[in-house]
């Protein structure tokens, strides 16, 4: 493996770790702001990557996608524990929606920040600057893909959680009950979609549209 290939892998791993760990920490942090100490007491507001590693989402899925023909990479960290009853009691369903969307918001903001840096790193002059260019690029790509992925309205993704609490807020009880019924099967639905190329390409298409606007 060449030096450039090694740098590319390191940049990719670092960008993915920041994206998925920051995503999970923000769920716990916003919950903490609404009086829920669950994540804090469990030590999950830490930036220590070890406490956030999920064997499947942090290691297996990214590795499979990296060595597969897929032209994207994403993953997830171990979910941060949140007591939504405490959040709802203190801030209502609006607070629960804020907690559900906190990780996506982090990914979008991070992608926008790095997109402002991107034009400044397009012409690397050394291995160090080449690494920084790769890191900036991968950070944009991974955060956009992760944000779009988590917006899918499929349990247990954040999009489904936000819709569930929105339904409860506006008393759309049939919608809320629908999500409660399909929740146990959410991971099966999710993996089914991910391994059907035609379907996953359609659902990931918005990420491609956004990236085409940001990256040449």
- Burial, 209: exposed, middle or buried (Cβ in 10 Å; 0-12, 13-18, 19+)? exposed
As a whole number, mean pLDDT of residues 64-80 equals 70
Q: Is the pLDDT confidence value at 121 over 90?
A: no
Q: What is the pLDDT of residue 85?
A: 96
Q: Report whether 154 contacts 200 (CB < 8 A).
A: no
Tokens of 129: 């600057």
Does residue 156 have a cis bond before it (omega within 30 degrees)? yes
Tell me the range of 55-69, 80-94, 191-205 where mean pLDDT is highest: 80-94
Considering just the CA atoms, what is the radius of gyration of the chain in Å? 18
Q: Report whether 197 contacts 204 (CB < 8 A).
A: no
Q: Is the pLDDT confidence value at 32 over 70?
A: yes
Tokens of 74: 């994403």
Could you confirm whether 24 is annotated as catalytic? yes
As a whole number, mean pLDDT of residues 127-135 equals 90
Q: Is the pLDDT confidence value at 77 over 80?
A: no
Catalytic, out of 3, 5, 24, 180: 24
pLDDT in tens, 140-181: 999 999 999 999 999 989 999 999 999 999 999 999 999 999
Q: Report whether 134 contacts 95 (CB < 8 A).
A: no
Q: What is the pLDDT of residue 189?
A: 87
Spans of all domains in the chain: 3-214
Give the angle subtended at the CA of 97 by the CAs of 36 and 26, to the nearest 5°. Answer: 55
Tokens of 68: 């597969």
């Amino acid at each position: 493996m060449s030096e450039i290939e090694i740098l590319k892998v390191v940049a990719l791993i670092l960008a993915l770790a920041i994206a998925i760990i920051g995503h999970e920490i923000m769920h716990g942090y916003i919950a903490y702001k609404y009086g829920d100490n669950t994540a804090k007491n469990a030590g999950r507001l830490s930036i220590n990557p070890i406490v956030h590693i999920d064997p499947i989402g942090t290691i297996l899925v990214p590795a499979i996608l990296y060595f597969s023909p897929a032209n994207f990479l994403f993953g997830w960290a171990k979910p941060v524990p949140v007591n939504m009853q405490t959040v709802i009691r203190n801030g209502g369903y609006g607070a629960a929606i804020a907690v559900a969307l906190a990780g996506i918001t982090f990914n979008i903001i991070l992608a926008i920040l790095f997109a402002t840096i991107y034009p400044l790193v397009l012409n690397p002059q050394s291995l160090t600057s080449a690494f920084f260019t790769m890191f900036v690029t991968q950070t944009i790509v991974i955060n956009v893909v992760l944000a779009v992925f988590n917006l899918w309205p499929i349990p247990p993704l954040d999009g489904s959680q936000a819709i569930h609490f929105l339904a409860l807020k506006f008393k759309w009880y049939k919608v809320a009950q629908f999500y409660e019924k399909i929740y146990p099967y959410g991971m099966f639905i999710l993996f089914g979609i991910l391994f059907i190329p035609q379907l996953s390409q359609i659902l990931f298409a918005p990420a491609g549209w956004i990236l085409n606007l940001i990256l040449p």
